[in-house]
Amino acid sequence: MFVSHRLARSSKSLTYAAMFLAAVPAAAQQAPRDSRPTLAVMYLTNGALVDNATYAPLSKGMAEMLITELAQNQALRVVERDRMQALIEEQNLQNSDRVDKETAVKLGKVLGAKHMLMGTFVIDPRQNMRIDVRAVNTETSAIDYVESVSGKSDRLLELVIQLGQKLNAGLKLPALKLASATTPASKNPNQFKALMAMSRALEAEDRHNVAEAKTQYREALAFSPELDRAKVRLASIERATQ
């Protein structure tokens, strides 16, 4: 009877062990796939009518700020600019002034983005600025939506924020609830100078010129201490070089 009792206990233990092991894979499963709408922002084409080379860094700077604006929407997944830059380098597209729709679709599929935002900015001799953006659907290759904003270049950050809000609504994405247009940085009279400096910093980062990137981020923050994106990127490269 004693042996029989021990066998029964052993059998029960094995049963519990089997139940535990069967439960482990389920608990260890990966998190559910991110089903949020996903988009990526291409670098904007520089169409400045004056001092074209001077304004060239804005191609990356405006894309970065548009990404920052759209990423405030927690119901949306926005591809980071660093991932876009890495893919552009991998595809040897960094010296291209313009990427066509077909190439954008291919890049979007690699990045897992349904919407690819492409666009152009123009600055005229009177410092009037216009930003045109179109959204390409990577599943159909069709242009889903076109949007434009215009104003004085010294209100560039306000224009980018306005553009982000219009794109969010026009693409019928989940509502963007944050009123970022009222942030101090968007009211700073030196916002254009700050964004130019940040744009130059991004270019320096992509050239792996860390010292120049730090200098330009600090200049951006000197013009606009409230420019959070410049703070974040400066802190990131400072940590990486410690």
Assigned token pair, 13 = 């233990």
Report the distance separating Cα 113 and Cα 77, nearest Å.
9
Report the distance separating Cα 190 and Cα 95, nearest Å.
30
Residues of the chain with pLDDT under 50: 1-14, 16-21, 23-28, 179, 181
pTM of structure: 0.81
pLDDT at residue 32, as a whole number: 62
Torsion angle, alpha carbons of 241, 82, 169, 163, to 10: 70
Q: Domain 38-176, CATH 3.80.10.10 — does that match?
A: no
pLDDT at residue 2, as a whole number: 45
Q: Which helix (H) or strand (E) is 137 found in, with range? A: strand 128-137
pLDDT at residue 20, as a whole number: 41
The 3-state DSSP composition of the chain as helix, strand, coil percent (nearest 5) reads: 55, 15, 30
pLDDT at residue 97, as a whole number: 63
Assigned token pair, 84 = 């876009």
Domain assignments of the chain as residue spans, ordered by start: 38-176, 183-237
pLDDT at residue 241, as a whole number: 87
Give the list of residues 6+ apart from residue 45 with CB closer than 8 angstroms, or none. Answer: 59, 97, 98, 119, 120, 121
